[in-house]
Amino acid sequence: MSAPPSGTAILLFLKVTLHVGFAVLLGVATLGLLAGGGVNGSRYGWAALAAVLAGVYLAGTLVEKRFAAGTSGFDPRRYAVLWLGTVTVLWVMLLAGSADFSWLAFPLFFLHLHVLPRPVALVNIALLTAAVIASQWAASGQAVPHVALVLGPVVGAAFSVVTGLAYRALYRDAENQRRAADELRRTRADLARTQHDAGVLAERERLAREIHDTLAQGLSSILLVARAAEKSLRDGDSATAGERLALVQQTAAENLAEARHFVRGLASPQLQESSLVDALRRLCDETGALAAARGSGLRCRLEVEGGPAELPQPYTVALLRAAQASLANVREHAGAGTAVVTLAFLGNEVTLDIFDDGVGFDPAGLDPVGVDPAGPRPDGRGFGLRSLQDRVAVLGGSLDLESAPGEGTVVAVRLPLDGSENQA
CA distance 279 to 47: 97
**Cα 198–Cα 204–Cα 206 angle in degrees, nearest 5:** 100
More confident residue, 210 or 298: 298
User: What does pLDDT average to over the chain?
Assistant: 77
Residue 130 has pLDDT above 60, yes or no: yes
CB-side neighbour CA atoms (13 Å) of 209? 22
Closest by CA position to 102, among listed 167, 36, 25, 155 = 25
CA distance 59 to 57: 6
CB 309 within 8 A of CB 417: yes
CA distance 221 to 293: 10
Residue 420 has pLDDT above 60, yes or no: no
Give the residue-averaged pLDDT of 179-202: 81
Residue 41 has pLDDT above 50, yes or no: no
Backbone angles phi, psi at 338, to 5 degrees: -140, 140
Backbone angles phi, psi at 347, to 5 degrees: 85, -70
pLDDT at position 12, please?
67
Q: What is the DSSP string of 92-138?
A: HHHHHH-GGGGGGHHHHHHHHHHHS-HHHHHHHHHHHHHHHHHHHHH
Q: Considering only 31-45, 99-113, 161-175, which range has the smallest mean pLDDT?
A: 31-45
CB 357 within 8 A of CB 404: no
Instruction: Find all residues with CB under 8 Å of 297, minimum gap 6, and list them.
Output: 291, 337
Closest by CA position to 132, among listed 164, 90, 87, 92 = 92
Strands 299-305 and 338-345: parallel
Beta bridge partners of 411: 354, 401
Residue 365 has pLDDT above 70, yes or no: no
pLDDT at position 268, please?
59
Beta bridge partners of 343: 304, 352
Quote the percentage of the chain above a pLDDT of 90: 5
Q: CA end-to-end span of the chain, whole Å?
A: 60
The type of residue at 205 is E
List helix spans (H) across 264-383: 269-272, 276-293, 313-329
pLDDT at position 422, please?
41
Residue 370: left if φ>0, alpha if ψ -120 to 50, beta else—which one?
left
CB 387 within 8 A of CB 325: yes
pLDDT at position 273, please?
59
pLDDT at position 368, please?
44
For the chain, helix (H) and strand (E) counts, in that order, are 12, 5
Closest by CA position to 36, among listed 46, 49, 48 = 46
More confident residue, 86 or 243: 86
pLDDT at position 206, please?
67
CA distances from 200 to 195, 207, 305 (A): 9, 11, 39
Residue 208 has pLDDT above 50, yes or no: yes
This prediction has a pTM of 0.44
Give 421: exposed, middle or buried? Use CB within 10 Å, 0-12, 13-18, 19+. middle
Which pLDDT band holds residue 424 (cuts at 50, 70, 90)?
very low
CA distance 8 to 171: 8
Judged by DSSP in three states, 41 sits in coil
Residue 371 has pLDDT above 50, yes or no: no
Give the residue-averaged pLDDT of 341-351: 88
Which pLDDT band holds residue 378 (cuts at 50, 70, 90)?
very low
